[in-house]
Structure 1
Amino acid sequence: MTKAKIKNRCTNCSQYNWHEIEGKHSEETDPMHDYHCGIDHLIVKCCGCERVSFLKRVHDYEISYFDHENDDWITPVSDDIYPKEIKGSLQSKSFPQVVKSVYQESCQAYRDESFTLAGIGFRATIEAVCNDQSIQGKELSTRINNLASKGLISKRDSARLHSIRFLGNDAAHDIKIPSKSALEAALIILEHLLTTVYILELESKGKLEEVIEDFDLFVGLLDEKLENLNPGTELPLPVILGKDLRRISGSIKKIEDKLNALIGQKKYTKINFGKTSKYQGSKEELLHYIVQ
């Protein structure tokens, strides 16, 4: 026997699919004593992903209207689907536990349409990130600015985070319920923050070339390059680094001055000072280093 089907949004695969009706109970309120509506309680199975859901469909007879074009009465229908559609798509082992917990609880509040709690929770997630990253400041406004100053996010991202701060403050102090559209935008901004601070670092580490801003990281790169050179080889630093010279952030001269100070103090002994001369037609004379 072929099962009856209805079109409905699936909260699992997020598609507007056909659903098979596995079970149905219908009832109608008494128009003489109650608000007149019809209610269908249905168990439905998505024909795409086969997710089984409960659907409550309400036919609102009180606001039915006549459609002159089709010569028929139109009754507005509203649906409630359970389980609710999941909000918050990020799953990462790199999240600290407290950040992960606040984020997931906030997304659950949003999914369950507890919009005030969700607004407060999104703000609290930013606080949790600041705590984890040791961002200083008495007020969240200062800490958000310091996230940008520390280079973890851009200034434009910081301006967007202030919007979530406003939303959370209004929900907590003024008991102002955020709109669904506002929370949807806030979640996108929040997940961008989490992706930038935690996920991108984890996913790119060791897979992509990274800009070197820390002197200790430069020393690590130099050590790798020197391992491939024979003792007694004499070359200028840009030649030793080769293509990886482009990874150095800022002035290579400042890096070289710091390196020279360590060599002079015999705190870095893998190379020593060599001659100063032009290298393969360079415009300026370059300090060479001898591999030890």
Structure 2
Amino acid sequence: MARKIKKDVTLGVQLKFICGECRIPQKHVVLTSYEDCIAEEGFDSQTSYQIVQCLNCEALCFRSEYEDSESHSYDMSTGEDYYWSTEHIFPHRTAGRFKIKDSFTLPPGVGKAYDELVSAMNAGQTILAGLGIRVVLESVCVDLKAEGDNLFKKINGLLKLNAITESDVSILHKLRALGNTAAHEAKPSSPEQLDLAMNVIEHLLLGTYIHPRLASSVFRS
């Protein structure tokens, strides 16, 4: 095997993908790159590691692109070869799920659980995301000191603390069941289930932490 590292082969190349700040597809430009080129008998590959910048908001992110000598096929209908590559972008945004505004103000334990849940969602890790839903619920209950020796009782304890409404209770119990299934059966949740669960979780975080904090700073008496 022969390996060769090249620098800035893709410098200046423009790409279009979802920007983590703009939250919509935007043009990005490669600021610098290192290409890891490997040559073996009958097989060649190249991985490009890039620092890229959004041309709209100037936010930075990391991108890698992998291709090899087998990343092509023949299209019999057109009579032409077509090629493909494998792309990874960090922070993940493959599912297009972005953190709620001001999530950095969440309590440390809640914020850490929420951050990892968003990462699992965007990485397409449906089992871990289902578990993450439960962990975020648990962390909120612990932070608010909801009474109970299990999550079922703690969710009901949130109602006694007036942190949630009666209608919220039934929804949160469904989320608890979703987390139980992921934990005990290693069963992935559907994209529709996870998307709805995330909406509910984020509504809980906004109503419990972020909106009250903003209200206290905006409407000062």
Against the structure 1 CA distance between its residues 125 and 26, is the aligned structure 2 distance closer, same or farther, given a 3 Å change threshold? closer
Q: Which is further off, 173-182 or 158-167?
A: 173-182
Q: 49, 52, 68: which one pairs with 2:57? A: 49
1:43–1:130: structure 2 CA closer, same or farther, 3 Å change rule?
Answer: closer
Aligned counterparts of 2:36 and 2:143: Cα–Cα separation in 1: 52
Deviations 1:225-265, CA, capped at 9 Å, x for gaps: xxxxxxxxxxxxxxxxxxxxxxxxxxxxxxxxxxxxxxxxx
Deviations 1:204-234 (A, max 9, x none): 45849xxxxxxxxxxxxxxxxxxxxxxxxxx
Structure 2 Cα separation of the partners of residues 184 and 30 of structure 1: 44
Where does residue 166 of structure 1 map in the other structure?
Answer: 177
- Post-superposition Cα deviations, 1:62-91, rounded to whole Å, max 9, x if no partner, equal 5635274x6643334431012434853353
What one-letter code is carried by the residue in structure 1 that aligns with 2:133?
F
The whole-number CA distance in structure 2 between the counterparts of 1:166 and 1:98 is 22
Higher-RCO chain (CA-CA 8 Å, sequence separation at least 6): 2
Following the alignment from structure 1 to structure 2, what is the Cα–Cα distance between the partners of residues 101 and 82?
A: 18
Shift of 1:110: 4.7
Tell me which amino acid in the other structure corresponds to 1:48: N
How far has the Cα of 1:96 moved from its partner?
4.0
- The match for 1:103 is 114
- With over 3 angstroms needed to count, the CA separation of the structure-2 counterparts of 1:122 and 1:5, relative to structure 1, is same
In our comparison, the structure showing a higher alpha carbon Rg is 1
> Secondary structure of the residue that 1:74 maps to in structure 2?
strand
TM-score by length of 2: 0.66
Change (3 A) 1:13 1:139: same
Unaligned runs of 5+ in 1: 209-292
Q: Which amino acid aligns with 1:7?
A: K
Q: Calculate the TM-score normalised by the size of structure 1.
A: 0.53
My pick for the range that moved more, 158-167 or 84-93, is: 84-93
Q: Would you say the 8 A contact 1:87–1:110 is kept in 2?
A: no
Q: 1:93 to 1:26 in 2, by over 3 A?
A: closer
* Cα shift readout 1:21-59 (whole Å, capped 9, x = no counterpart): 3344274776946xx876444333221122333322234
The secondary structure found in structure 2 opposite 1:165 is helix
Report the identity percentage: 27
**Structure 1 residue aligned with 2:15:** 6
2:197 aligned partner: 186
Letter in structure 1 aligned against 2:22 = C
Aligned length: 204
Question: Aligned to 1:133, which of 144, 162, 166?
Answer: 144
Distance 2:73 2:117 in 1: 37
Cα RMSD over matched residues?
A: 3.9
> Structure 1's 135 and 57: CA in aligned 2 closer, same or farther, altered over 3 A?
same
Against the structure 1 CA distance between its residues 55 and 203, is the aligned structure 2 distance closer, same or farther, given a 3 Å change threshold?
Answer: closer
Given the superposition, is the C-alpha separation of residues 8 and 100 from structure 1 closer, same or farther in structure 2, using an over 3 Å criterion? closer
> Quick check: which one's strand share is greater?
2
Cα displacement (A) at 1:190: 1.0
C-alpha change, 1:151 and 1:121, in structure 2 (3 Å) is same
Cα separation, 1, equivalents of 2:82 and 2:167 = 47
User: Does structure 2 conserve the Cα–Cα contact (< 8 Å) formed by 1:67 and 1:74?
Assistant: no
Task: Give SS of 2:86's match.
Answer: strand
Instruction: Describe the SS at the equivalent of 1:126.
Output: helix
Could you tell me which runs of 5 or more consecutive residues in structure 2 were left unpaired when the two chains were aligned: 1-10
Distance verdict in 2 for CA 1:45–1:105, change over 3 Å: closer
Give the match for residue 73 of structure 1. 81
Matches within 5 A, 1:105-124: 105-108=116-119, 110=121, 116-124=127-135
